[in-house]
């Protein structure tokens, strides 16, 4: 199964893979992917990160919970080590940038189907920068206020607690949270909390590495 919100990309991948694998279908969003998987059992999903309704990072925990044997390969334009680590922690079996050759894609699919993890050699081995923007490409688009809100979400603070700490109304904090989800391609508060927790954990790890 191929999940990508760009129809030309998804159908192009399907045509390239047709000679090597049975293609069960194409999903243009995370939500439609789940709906299709409820009807058609598959062994492996090629999953884009940035999609409408439910982004790849948002839908990953649900896929892993509902279909524990499903193999999931992230195929994305974001060639980023920290993002690859986040995807693997959320349950992905592989991570590939979209500019790879077909041969590497076939190798990755074969490896994850056989039970191994595959991260493209093109993905940097380390992330040198320490900071919230270094942990996810989409974080670069956040305003300083949205960074504050996301950091407090990662600390487990409620909307009311965040509003009190920043001297904002709860409706303003809710507005910021909605905009953060939109920029990150996350559609639910549960997904935002899961992602924020990962960001916090990874940020602490990067800080520890730097201090060491």
In CATH, what number is assigned to the domain containing residue 65? 3.40.50.2300
- Name the most confidently modeled range: 71-80, 122-131, 138-147: 71-80
Which of 94, 119, 144 is the C-terminal boundary of a domain? Answer: 119
Q: Does residue 125 belong to any structural domain of this protein?
A: no
pLDDT digits (tens, 9 = 90+) for 69-81: 999 999 988 777 7
Q: Indicate if 17 and 91 belong to the same structural domain.
A: yes
**Nearest alpha carbon to residue 140 among 129, 152, 126:** 129
Q: Which residue has the higher pLDDT, 135 or 1?
A: 1
Domain count for the chain? 2
Q: Indicate if 144 and 103 belong to the same structural domain.
A: no
Average pLDDT over residues 18-31: 91
Half-sphere exposure (Cβ direction) of 106: Cα atoms closer than 13 Å: 10
Range of the domain at 186: 132-211
pTM for the predicted model, two decimal places? 0.64
* Cα separations in angstroms, 108 against 30, 91, 97, 104, 123: 21, 16, 12, 6, 13
Q: 28-40: b or e for each residue (b if 16 or more CB lie within 10 Å)? A: bbbbbbbebbeee
Average pLDDT over residues 172-191: 81
pLDDT digits (tens, 9 = 90+) for 75-125: 988 777 767 877 888 889 999 998 899 999 999 999 999 999 999 998 877
pLDDT band with cut points at 50, 70 and 90 for residue 208: low
Alpha-carbon distance of 45 to 61, in angstroms, equals: 14
Strands (E), 48-164: 71-76, 94-97, 118-119
Q: Indicate if 113 and 136 belong to the same structural domain.
A: no
């Amino acid at each position: 199964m191929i999940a990508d919100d760009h129809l030309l990309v998804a159908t192009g991948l399907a045509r390239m893979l047709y000679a090597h694998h049975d293609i069960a279908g194409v999903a243009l969003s995370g939500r439609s992917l789940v709906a299709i998987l409820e009807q058609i059992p598959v062994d492996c999903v090629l999953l884009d990160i940035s999609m409408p309704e439910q982004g790849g990072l948002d839908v990953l925990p649900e896929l892993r919970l509902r279909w524990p044997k499903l193999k999931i390969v992230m195929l994305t334009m974001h060639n980023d080590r920290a993002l690859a680590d986040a995807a693997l922690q959320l349950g992905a079996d592989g991570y590939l940038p979209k500019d790879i050759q077909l041969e590497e894609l076939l190798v990755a699919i074969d490896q994850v189907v056989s039970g191994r993890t595959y991260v493209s050699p093109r993905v940097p081995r380390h992330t040198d920068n320490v900071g919230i923007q270094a942990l996810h490409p989409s974080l670069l688009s956040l305003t300083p206020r949205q960074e504050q809100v996301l950091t407090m979400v990662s600390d487990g603070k409620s909307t009311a607690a965040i509003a009190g700490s920043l001297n904002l109304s709860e409706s303003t904090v809710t507005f910021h949270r909605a905009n953060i989800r939109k920029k990150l391609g996350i559609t639910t508060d549960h997904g935002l909390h899961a992602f924020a927790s990962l960001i916090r954990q990874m940020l602490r790890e990067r800080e520890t590495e730097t201090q060491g």
